[in-house]
């Protein structure tokens, strides 16, 4: 019989794909070195290798170091200077980055002293700082000395006079407000920091820390179709499970590639599918996939034995002996491979 | 942010400590230290005093305590060693000895603290004006274990580490009074030899009287694949002549223990009435006192010391109502798989005053396939094949190697020292002298070349060999020489283990674990996963049930609990619902145990039975 390629690749019925998949990823996992490679440009240490793999599989809400790749529309992506400009626009700069904020509890005022050196480095001028503060705290910005603008230390007083409520200003509220002033965004997108321009092929793109996809998309230079982050939960939130599944595949593949390990993509896809088939991203382990097994014995064999047994007894659960572990415990043939094949024979009576 | 450690300003005057206690101060501690040292060298101070100046804290420590580890160095002045050639000649003429050198301030002992103030050269050529001391000999940087390895400077450091570790496992003469000792386990080599390539430390320690190894003729070539991956092909005829043969002593001991209530064990010949009597056969080597006769051949499970103990529970009342003294058998017997001759018997008193019997059993351990051998260069291997002398390659002179080592063992491990020893051993055996393999010195390759050449051998140690099987000349010249090999105490006969049937555990009905208990090898979780991956359901069942803890339990079809067989009325009955509708079911005993344990949690598990269809 002629077999086509498709037929030869087809998986036979009752093949234990899950175990094969787990072993195929687990075995190279043992060879992963703790040595980590660095993402070009971003100075921070991004988990790679085993820690990152665990992060993905555990469906962590936020990766230890989130990264966002922001691709630009072709008119901005051609030159490094243009991309650099967009990167500057995107990276968040707070008041505390360019100025020293001090509170004076005697006069109930907050002094913002513009630091010219830091300001120049960030490309934030005195007026830009003042504008940002006036926008965030309208009417509060009181004194200013524009003639001292260019001097190394500049003072701006922001006094708090409650708008409508006429709330009395206390030392405590001034303290609170000081923190707020420090965290005031002067420029950029909140949640995106340390933007670096990287050349990818012909074009330049921006790689930054953080994962504020929506915020980044507001910038007109950003190509909204090509934005990417390593935060899988954020991808799920904005683009849906299918995108999250693809992100899981891509992230695991990246981890394996970085360590120069080869795993067939179908194994990774199976993992991603198992994590997302229910319509949302769930982890592999106690709180996710393994915790949702049908059999009591299967769950009890994995983790938290007593808890599962007692809960099962409280609700008079019935063990249907569907899984592999359950049948091994009881001492029956396991319902995979040859164990699932049954022979049906018609016995015709002899006459 | 880098944390900066705040440093306390050093006091202006040096604080002086004597053995850790402040005794005073001085304006210039450094020069004081130097003056103290000078006085020590001129014997105005004891040579056991050490001085240490800490410039950072401006502290001067004078140490005269006991328990400081000190080692000798040659004193260096202005980049010149005080040990001059003139002094060397005087030593050679026996005018001076070591103690004189110490007295003369040529050699002084430093402790760990004073070493901190010193700049010590390893070789005399390295001396600069900054140096304060010189190592007595460069090879002194090694300790006792590494110091006896030949040519360590020609080997890679991991191999030296391994060679040190393995030298400690070598079998030889571990103690000269081994005949009177009762060590639990001891090995004695039959014909130990001193190595042909020795080091100065080896001689200094007089290790040739306690040597552990034998000199072997080693050919560096392959042999039909039997020396792949660090296996070694060994000449069987050499082994028959006693190569690497060792004797093993094993001591068994037992004690007459006392029990609360004044009862006591008794060492005696157990009678058939004793509970657990092992049959006449097992006691055949025992004398009337219940202890084996020396020189009797014993094999596994033979009793060495007959012993009976009082019953475990007091007053077991017999049918007649009288208290009957039923004794328990608790003899000491040889472990399974072992055999030997009873070497000697020792009867003494134990630490708690009980009668104690020690029996030493001796057996011969002839090298066999799987035993471990190693040279002194971290080159270890197991015997892969024993070949009769006729089948081994031979030289035109008729020299047949004892060992055939695979050349692949050398390049990646970079143990050039092994090759150098091969050459040196060959030169030594031909020239009839001992070679010096001391680190950073010793005999040179050129010396070996000269000796070999003079005696009509190839100077590089290569020779034409003939295949022992075909008699044909081997087309290439082979490197062949003499190397000191050690037999390590990993003997297969002490490790070999198989099981097809055997004991099971009382609790789980699963096979026991470990060689000592004739146990099985665990078919673990990962192994199980592999079978699942293959989909080999039937095989999993066989491994985990059939070959393990399969039981047939009666299950009540009505309440689903485990039922019992009532032997008195010969019927199956459920003890909970009294139903006789009971079916035999094949389950694992571990599952039955699980059900029992769940019940102890106050959970009642029921088994619902269904026909397999």
> In this structure, how many other beta carbons lie within 10 angstroms of the beta carbon of residue B424?
31
Residues A335 and A303 grouped into a single domain? yes
- Is A168 a member of any domain? yes
Domain B14-141 has CATH 3.90.1070.20: yes
Shared-domain flag, residues A150 and A212? no
Position A271 in a domain = yes
* Least confident range of A290-294, B276-280, B345-349, B485-489: A290-294
**Joined tokens for residue B528:** 């199980």
Strands B80-81 and B70-77: antiparallel
Which residue out of B523, B525, B529, B537 would a mutagenesis test of the A interface target, given it has the greatest number of A Cβ atoms within 10 Å? B537
Q: For the ranges A145-154, B121-130, B486-495, B594-603, which has the lowest average pLDDT?
A: A145-154
Residues A127 and A154 in one domain: yes
CB contact under 8 A, A23 and B533: yes
For residue A19, the chain B residue with the least C-alpha distance is B533
Q: Quote the pLDDT of residue B393.
A: 96
Cα–Cα distance between B48 and B507 in angstroms, integer? 65
Please give the CATH number for the structural domain made up of B499-613: 3.90.1800.10
Complex ipTM > 0.85: no
Q: Do A108 and A180 sit in the same domain of this protein? A: yes
Q: What gap in Å lies between CA B430 and CA A212, rounded to an integer?
A: 82
Interface test with B, best of A24, A311, A334 (most B CBs within 10 A): A334
Whole-number pLDDT of residue A51 = 83
- C-alpha B76/C-alpha B493 separation (Å) is 56
Contacts of B541 in chain A (CB under 8 A): 331-334, 339
Determine, yes or no, domain membership for A2: no
> What tokens appear for B127 in the block?
């001396």
> Is B544 touching A (CB cutoff 8 A)?
yes
Span B207-215, mean pLDDT?
A: 92
Cβ of A339 and B537 within 8 Å?
Answer: yes
Interacting residues of A252 by C-beta distance below 8 A, sequence separation 6+: A25, A53, A56, A268, A271, A272
Which residues of chain A make contact with B587, given a CB cutoff of 8 A? 330-331
Say which residues have a Cβ less than 8 Å from residue B26's Cβ, sequence separation at least 6: B13, B14, B16, B32, B60
Which of A136, A164, A187 is the last residue in one of the domains?
Answer: A187
Judged by CB atoms closer than 8 Å, whether chains meet at A23 and B586 is answered as no
| Nearest-angstrom CA–CA distance, B505 and B513 | 9
CA distances from A231 to A196, A268, B214 (A): 18, 18, 66
Q: Tell me, what's the pLDDT at B320?
A: 58
Query: Which CATH number belongs to the domain containing residue A225 in this structure?
Result: 3.30.70
**Structural domain boundaries of chain B?**
14-141, 152-245+369-487, 247-365, 499-613
The string of pLDDT tens digits covering residues B400-431 is 999 999 999 999 999 999 999 999 999 999 99
Tell me how close the Cα of B532 comes to any Cα of chain A, in angstroms. 7
Is B230 among the catalytic positions? yes
Indicate whether A263 belongs to any domain.
Answer: yes
0.95 cut: is pTM over it?
A: no
Average confidence (pLDDT) over A309-333: 89
A287 assigned to some structural domain = no
Residue in chain B closest to A323 (alpha carbons) equals: B532
Interface test with A, best of B525, B528, B535 (most A CBs within 10 A): B535
Class of domain B152-245+369-487: mainly beta
- Sign (positive or negative) of CA dihedral A301, A305, A307, A309: positive
Mean pLDDT confidence for B470-481? 95
Q: How far is CA A104 from the centre of its chain?
A: 40
Query: How far is Cα B358 from Cα B87, in angstroms, rounded to an integer?
Result: 58
Is the confidence at residue A104, as pLDDT, over 90?
A: no
User: Which uninterrupted H or E stretch holds B450?
Assistant: helix B445-454
A99 and A212: one domain? no
Domain of A317, CATH number, reads 1.10.150.390
- Are the C-beta atoms of B109 and B70 separated by less than 8 Å? yes
How much is the pLDDT for B364?
95
pLDDT tens figures, B515-560: 988 899 999 999 999 999 999 999 999 999 999 999 999 999 988 8
Same-domain check for residues A172 and A109: yes
% of chain B at pLDDT higher than 90 = 81
d(C-alpha B306, C-alpha B293), whole Å: 12
Same fold, B152-245+369-487 and B499-613: no
Same domain for A221 and A74 = yes
Structural domain range at position A213: 67-91+190-229
Asked whether residue A155 carries a pLDDT value surpassing 70, the answer given is no
Say which residues have a Cβ less than 8 Å from residue B252's Cβ, sequence separation at least 6.
B304, B305, B332, B334, B358, B359, B360, B361
State whether A25 and A174 are in the same domain. Answer: no
CB atoms within 10 A of CB B85: 8
Of B533, B587, B598, the CB nearest to A330: B587
Would you say residue A296 has pLDDT above 60?
yes
Element (H, E) at B347: strand B339-349
Contact call for A309 and B603, based on CB within 8 A: yes
Q: Does A316 touch chain B (CB under 8 A)?
A: no
**pLDDT band of A161, cuts 50, 70, 90:** low
CA distance B218 to B381: 13
Q: What pairing do the DSSP bridges indicate for beta strands B14-18 and B59-63?
A: parallel
**What are the DSSP E strand ranges found in B28-94?**
50-54, 59-63, 70-77, 80-81
Distance between CA B117 and CA B62 in Å, rounded?
Answer: 13
Shared domain check, A78 and A155: no
Asked if residues A64 and A49 have their Cβ atoms less than 8 Å apart, the reply is no
Interchain CB contact of B119 with A (< 8 Å): no
DSSP string, B121-177: ESSGGG--TT--EEESSGGGGS-HHHHTSS-GGGB-HHHHHHHHHHHTTB-SBS-TT
CATH architecture of the domain with range B247-365: Beta Barrel (2.40)
Q: What's the total number of domains in chain A?
A: 4
pLDDT digits (tens, 9 = 90+) for B357-394: 999 999 999 999 999 999 999 999 999 999 999 999 99
Indicate if the pLDDT at residue B292 is higher than 80.
yes
Q: Please check whether residue B608 touches A, CB under 8 A.
A: yes
């Amino acid at each position: 019989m002629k077999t086509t390629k498709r037929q030869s690749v087809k998986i036979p019925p009752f093949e234990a794909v899950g175990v094969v998949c787990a072993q195929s990823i687990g075995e190279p996992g043992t060879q992963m070195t703790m040595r980590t490679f660095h993402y070009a440009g971003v100075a921070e240490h991004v988990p790679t290798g085993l820690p990152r793999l665990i992060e993905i599989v555990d469906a962590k809400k936020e990766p230890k170091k989130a990264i966002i790749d922001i691709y630009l529309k072709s008119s901005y992506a051609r030159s490094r200077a243009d991309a650099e400009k967009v990167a500057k626009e995107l990276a968040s700069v707070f008041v505390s980055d360019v100025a020293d904020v001090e509170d004076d509890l005697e006069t109930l005022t907050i002094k913002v002293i513009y630091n010219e050196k830091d300001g120049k480095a960030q490309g934030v001028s005195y007026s830009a700082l003042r504008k940002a503060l006036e926008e965030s705290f309208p009417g509060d910005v009181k004194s200013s000395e524009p003639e001292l603008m260019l001097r190394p230390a500049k003072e701006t007083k922001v006094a708090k006079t409650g708008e409508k409520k006429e709330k009395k200003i206390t030392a405590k509220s001034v303290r609170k407000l000081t923190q707020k002033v420090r965290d005031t965004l002067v420029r950029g997108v909140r949640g995106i920091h340390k933007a670096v321009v990287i050349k990818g092929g012909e074009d330049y793109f921006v790689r930054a820390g953080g994962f504020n996809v929506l915020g980044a998309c507001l910038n007109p230079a950003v190509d909204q179709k090509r934005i990417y982050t390593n935060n899988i939960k954020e991808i799920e939130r904005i683009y849906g499970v299918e995108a999250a599944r693809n992100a899981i595949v891509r992230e695991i593949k990246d981890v394996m590639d970085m360590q120069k390990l080869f795993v067939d993509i179908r194994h990774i896809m199976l993992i991603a599918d198992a994590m997302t088939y229910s319509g949302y991203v769930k982890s592999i382990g106690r709180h996710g996939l393994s915790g949702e097994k049908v059999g009591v014995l299967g769950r009890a064999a994995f983790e938290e034995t007593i808890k599962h047994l007692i809960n099962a007894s409280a609700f008079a659960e019935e063990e249907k002996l569907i899984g592999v572990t359950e049948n091994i415990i009881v001492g029956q043939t396991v319902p995979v491979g040859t164990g699932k094949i049954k022979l049906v024979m018609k016995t015709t009576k002899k006459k | 942010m880098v944390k900066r450690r705040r440093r306390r300003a050093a006091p202006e005057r040096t604080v002086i400590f004597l053995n850790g206690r402040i005794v005073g101060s001085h304006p210039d501690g450094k020069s004081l230290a130097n003056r103290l040292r000078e006085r020590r060298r001129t014997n105005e101070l004891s040579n056991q005093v050490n001085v240490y100046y800490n410039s950072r804290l401006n502290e001067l420590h004078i140490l005269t305590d006991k328990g400081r580890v000190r080692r000798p160095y040659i004193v260096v002045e202005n980049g010149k060693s005080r040990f001059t050639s003139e002094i060397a000649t005087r030593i050679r003429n026996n005018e001076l000895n070591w103690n004189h050198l110490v007295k003369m301030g040529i050699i002084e002992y430093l402790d760990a603290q004073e070493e901190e103030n010193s700049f010590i050269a390893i070789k005399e050529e390295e001396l600069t004006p900054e140096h304060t001391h010189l190592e007595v000999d460069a090879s002194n940087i090694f300790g006792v274990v590494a110091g006896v390895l030949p040519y360590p400077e020609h080997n890679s450091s991991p191999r030296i580490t391994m060679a040190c570790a393995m030298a400690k496992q070598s079998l030889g003469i571990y103690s000269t009074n081994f005949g009177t000792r009762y060590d639990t386990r001891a090995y004695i080599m039959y014909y130990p030899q001193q190595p042909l390539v020795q080091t100065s430390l080896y001689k200094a320690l007089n290790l040739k009287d306690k040597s552990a190894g034998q000199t072997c003729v080693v050919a560096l070539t392959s042999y039909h694949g039997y020396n792949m991956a660090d296996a070694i092909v060994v000449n069987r005829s050499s082994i028959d002549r006693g190569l690497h043969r060792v004797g093993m002593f094993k001591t068994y001991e037992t004690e007459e223990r006392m029990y609360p209530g004044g009862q006591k064990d008794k060492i005696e010949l157990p009678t058939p009435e004793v509970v657990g009597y092992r049959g006449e056969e097992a006691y055949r080597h025992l004398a009337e006192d219940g202890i084996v006769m020396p020189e009797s051949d014993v094999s596994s499970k033979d009793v060495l010391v007959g012993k009976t103990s009082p019953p475990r529970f007091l007053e077991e009342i017999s049918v007649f109502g009288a208290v009957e003294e039923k004794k328990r058998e608790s003899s000491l017997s040889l472990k399974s798989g072992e055999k030997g001759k009873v070497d000697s018997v020792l009867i003494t008193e134990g630490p708690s005053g009980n009668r104690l019997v020690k029996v030493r059993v001796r057996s011969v351990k002839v090298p066999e396939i799987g035993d471990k051998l190693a040279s002194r260069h971290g080159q270890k291997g197991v015997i892969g094949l024993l070949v009769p002398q006729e089948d081994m390659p031979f030289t035109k002179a008729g020299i047949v190697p004892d060992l055939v080592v695979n050349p692949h063992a050398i390049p990646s491990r970079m143990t050039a020292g092994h090759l150098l020893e091969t050459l040196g051993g060959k030169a030594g055996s031909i020239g009839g002298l001992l070679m010096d393999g001391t680190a950073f010195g010793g005999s040179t390759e050129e010396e070996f070349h000269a000796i070999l050449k003079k005696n009509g051998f190839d100077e590089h140690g290569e020779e034409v060999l003939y295949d022992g099987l075909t008699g044909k000349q081997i087309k290439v010249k082979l490197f062949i020489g003499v190397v000191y090999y050690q037999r390590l105490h990993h003997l297969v006969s002490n490790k070999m283990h198989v099981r097809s049937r055997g004991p099971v555990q009382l609790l789980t009905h699963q096979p026991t674990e470990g060689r000592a208990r004739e146990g099985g090898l665990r078919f673990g979780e990962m192994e199980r996963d592999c079978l699942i991956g293959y989909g080999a359901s039937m095989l999993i069942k066989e491994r985990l049930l059939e070959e393990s803890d399969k039981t047939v339990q009666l299950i009540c079809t009505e309440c689903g609990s485990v039922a019992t067989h009532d032997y008195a009325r010969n019927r199956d009955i459920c003890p909970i619902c009294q139903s006789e509708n009971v079916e035999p079911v094949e389950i694992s005993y571990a599952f039955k145990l699980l059900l029992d344990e769940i019940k102890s949690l106050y959970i009642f598990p029921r088994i619902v039975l269904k026909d397999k269809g």
